[in-house]
């Protein structure tokens, strides 16, 4: 599968420090506000997230936060109702993962840029995630 943006090198910063819809970042787990699940494995050293905010919000210098969804390797827990399956290679993911569309939250742009940029999801994948989120909130 060809990368969505072959000019970007995985692990390099997002182009010119700019964040775009569909950008995938590996971030500090302490910047991802998830409630602990009883009996869950110990806290991860990193978390993968995908930006789902609009291009306008991504580009607006006064907009300090963007909406993201958590990416999870737990595909055995794939629930078609809440999740979007992301193929290996899309967005720089190293294996098949799921976008947890019921886990949407704002994240500071500075926290995203402090993480590691991986790549950009395909536009179709971003559209699927946004559609799933819209359905979950009842629009």
Per-block average pLDDT, block size 10, for the chain (139 residues)? Answer: 42 67 93 74 82 95 94 76 90 92 93 94 96 89
For 136, the token pair is: 């979950």
pLDDT at position 30: 85
For 53, the token pair is: 């905010």
pLDDT at position 3: 41
For 137, the token pair is: 């909130």
pLDDT at position 111: 94
Question: Domain map of the chain by residue range?
Answer: 23-33+44-136
pLDDT at position 8: 43
> Among 3.40.640.10, 1.10.10.10, 2.30.30.110, 1.10.8.60, what is the CATH number of 23-33+44-136?
2.30.30.110
pLDDT at position 31: 87
Name 57's Cβ contacts closer than 8 Å, sequence gap at least 6: 63, 66, 67
């Amino acid at each position: 599968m060809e990368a969505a943006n072959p000019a970007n090198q995985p692990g390099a910063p997002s182009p010119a420090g700019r964040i775009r819809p569909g950008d995938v970042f590996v971030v500090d787990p302490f910047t991802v506000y998830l409630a602990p699940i009883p009996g869950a494995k110990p806290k991860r050293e990193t978390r993968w997230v995908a930006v789902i905010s609009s291009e306008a919000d991504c580009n607006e210098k006064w907009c300090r936060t963007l909406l993201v969804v958590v990416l999870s390797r737990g595909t055995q827990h794939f629930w078609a109702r809440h999740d979007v399956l992301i193929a290996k290679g899309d967005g720089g993911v190293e294996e098949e993962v799921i976008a947890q569309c019921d886990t949407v939250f704002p994240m500071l742009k500075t926290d995203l840029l402090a993480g590691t940029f991986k790549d950009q999801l395909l536009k179709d994948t971003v559209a699927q995630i946004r559609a799933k989120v819209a359905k979950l909130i009842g629009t």
